[in-house]
Amino acid sequence: MLAHAFARARARANTGEGAHDGLARPIEPAGRTDGPDVGFCSSALGAGCSSQWAPGPTIVVPVGQSLEIDLTNNLPTPTSVVILGQWGGGVGTPNEVASPMHSPKTQTTWPANTSATFTPPTQGDRVQTFGTETAAGGTGKYTWSSLKPGTYLYETGTHPSIQAPMGLYGVVVVTTAPVLNAGTLTPGQSYPNSSAPANSTSNVPYDMDTVLLLSELDIAQNAAVDSLAVAAVKAGSAIDPQAYPPAVNYAPTYFLMNGKAFDRTNVNGIPWSTNFASGNALLRFVNAGLRTHVPSAVGLNMQLIAEDGNPLPGKPRV
């Protein structure tokens, strides 16, 4: 539990079930035509690109398997993929760029200094990408060989305060999933650990699970970034990062669950399994937004068993 612009991408996930390819391109949020977004998508994972925006596909990896993503970037700016909480995919080799230069000032905060010229000190380089970067129009390969069990957010590692809110995010689940064979259900294991006590959160069985991905949408910021991308494409150049809108002005006006805003005329529920063994349903809450959200299951006895991929010590918390 846990708690951007034209693109074409290809992704391959080595999960023991074959390779997966995908595409990403400019798309709109469902029901809207004034909020440009981009996102990861994969036809092989059942999440092909469409005219409606959606989060990246949920990638399910069996415990013990590796994950490989091949990314082709047609954005007019560099991008990348990182899995928050997992080591690999080039994390630890950040790409740094020079900080912007600030011209001397004749007026500063204190009026008494108006007669002097203040020269701002030189700043150190800034991190543009947290891991291996895929250049505009280029391709990149990202590999994770030792994935920890749990639920994780994958997103762009490049200009994350801009590209992530634009829609470059999704969920990775590493688990031992339930198996239904000849009408008999073998429960899955949320965090399989043979050395952990049977009543610990590391060995909680479950009959079904579902991902509930929380996020937000700032129409104004996305539109500003989109205009930069359109201008860059027309000029045949890359986006100037210093032209991005100030991320401190981020003010979302739409709050989403699994990429959709609440619609009281079309309320969506969570599909429920008709086969039971343990009686447990595992809800995987993930927050891809920049605001804190407090999920709840009203009327149900919900227990917290892990946070950020880390099983909580002791017995589950109610």
Query: What pLDDT score does 39 carry?
Result: 79
Reply yes or no on whether the pLDDT at 297 is more than 90.
Answer: no
Average pLDDT, the chain: 78
Rounded Cα gap, residues 81 and 141, in angstroms: 9
Is residue 212 within 8 Å of residue 257, measured between CB atoms?
A: yes
Q: Any residues with CB less than 8 A from the CB of 166 and at least 6 apart, and which? A: 4, 5, 37, 38, 222, 225
Residue 132 pLDDT greater than 60, yes or no: yes
pLDDT at residue number 115: 61
Of 152-156, 196-200, 246-250, give the range with the top mean pLDDT: 152-156
Torsion angle of alpha carbons 69, 70, 74, 76, nearest 10°?
60
139-144 and 281-287 beta bridge pairing: unpaired
pLDDT at 91: 86
Cβ proximity of 129 and 95 under 8 Å: yes
pTM recorded for the entire structure: 0.81
Asked if pLDDT for residue 62 goes beyond 90, the answer is yes
Place of tokens 């082709």: 72
What's the rounded mean pLDDT across residues 209-233?
91
Residue 268 has pLDDT above 70, yes or no: yes
CA max distance for the chain? 86
Q: Looking at 30-44, 74-88, 131-145, 249-263, which range is the least confident one?
A: 30-44
Residue 201 has pLDDT above 80, yes or no: no
Domain map of the chain by residue range? 26-99+126-264+271-311
Looking at the chain, the whole-number percentage of residues with pLDDT higher than 70 is 78
Mean pLDDT of the 266-282 span: 80
Residue 43 clears pLDDT 70, i.e. is over it? no
Q: Measure the CA–CA gap between 65 and 146, rounded to whole angstroms.
A: 7
At 41, list the tokens. Answer: 């998508």
- Output the CATH code of domain 26-99+126-264+271-311: 2.60.40.420
Q: Which of 252, 258, 270, 254 is nearest to 171 (CA)?
A: 258
Return phi, psi of residue 216, to 5°: -140, 170
Long-range residue pairs from 16-19, CB within 8 A, at least 24 positions apart, any chain: 16/62, 16/65, 18/44, 19/44
